[in-house]
Amino acid sequence: MARHYLDHASTSPVRPEVIEAMAQWVSGADPGRVHTEGRMARAALEDARERVGAALGARPREVIFTSGATESINAAVFGAVAAKPGGAIVAAAVEHSAVRDASARSGAPVIEPAVDGDGRISVAEVTQAVAGRDVALANCQWGNHEVGTLQPLDAIVAACRHADALVHVDAAAAAGHVPIDFGAVGADLMSISAHKLGGPRGIGALLVRRGLRLDPFVVGGEQERARRGGMENVAAAVGFAVALEADLAAESVRQQMLTDRLRAAALSVEGVVSYGPLPIDDYPDMRGTLPHIVCLGVNGVEAEAVLLALDQAGIAAHSGSACSSESLEPSPVLAAMGVDADRSLRLSVGWSSTDADVDAFASAFPDVVARLRQMRADG
């Protein structure tokens, strides 16, 4: 049976050109050494840093390579709290669990601004939060990882600037799917993962605004200009740069076409609803959503049953109700939006997705839902 992968928002297959570029550096030397092999590795690492920065609108010196967005988020949260003891953290319920968990464990008071029915963070409540008390860090995702909602970044960053509060942007879900310009958005910190856009696992970046200095989260070495200890992963950094240099704009257009078809196929089934902003075909710049994510509510069936039945039909998908295979809990994102947090289906496409993937879902989904509903009625 052919397999159809519709879970790119969790992780995307590594691009062939990325694997090829990484191959010569997998067994490379320590870039911190002064011998020829070390200097070659250092040159490759700094070249990758420059290319990653250029792709994300950052200066090379603003790029700190990390093990991924989870580490970057933790470094941003704990670094900001250490820099302003007693300051609060702003983190909405729609933020990724890495942001919410790091904020909760930082020891700082956490302010949770409201979101609307599309999962959009309230600018008014963030403005009130940063103006009304001492805030160490305000978090604002670029786009939501479950329903795709693009957040009002410009307004939130402006509010934080006016109140002299640091702002961190989790761009892991957005990078590779919408244009990212760290310098233009004016944030202090930004987190990125390579594996969300066809890069290697185990590499990401924390972008740190020039002039901002935070204590390192990972200590034990002077790597990354003493901002992150541990030997640098040269091969992965090279692969990260290559992934960011793909024709991401063209891919995003293609992904939007595929998710439009996925959504239409799903909504043709009775009792299925779409969560998050709906695309507006006549106004492409007003879509308000990441192009590669569709989140659906399926009435009358459990999320886990839908996922398993689709998997049996050769289709890999995800539920917004779960962050991992070990836990199937109600989605805090959907709960904050005021919709059914227990029954959802997330479909996401990427660089390798095809029309055949959509066709397979469109063929299997109605039968899956009908069969599960009948089983529940008979039970």
pLDDT for the residue 286: 45
Pairing of strands 4-5, 189-193: unpaired
Which residue is associated with the tokens 């992904």? 255
Query: Length of the chain, please?
Result: 379
Q: Are 212 and 84 in contact (CB under 8 A)?
A: no
- Give the chain's residues under pLDDT 50: 282-286, 322-325
- The per-residue pLDDT for range 213-266, each reduced to its tens digit, is 999 999 999 999 999 999 999 999 999 999 999 999 999 999 999 999 999 999
Which of 140, 160, 295, 323 is the catalytic position? Answer: 323
3-state secondary structure of 334: helix
* Token pair recorded at residue 261: 């078809």
Which distant-in-sequence residues (6+ apart) come within 8 Å of 101 by Cβ? none
What's the topology of domain 16-244?
A: Aspartate Aminotransferase; domain 2 (3.40.640)
160 a catalytic residue: no
269: phi then psi, degrees, rounded to nearest 5: -90, 130
Is the pTM here over 0.85, yes or no? Answer: yes
Specify the domain boundaries for CATH 3.40.640.10 within the chain. 16-244
Is there a contact between 153 and 185 (Cβ–Cβ < 8 Å)?
A: yes
- Please, what CATH class does the domain formed by 4-12+248-378 belong to? alpha beta
Measured in Å, how far apart are the chain's first and last C-alpha atoms?
30
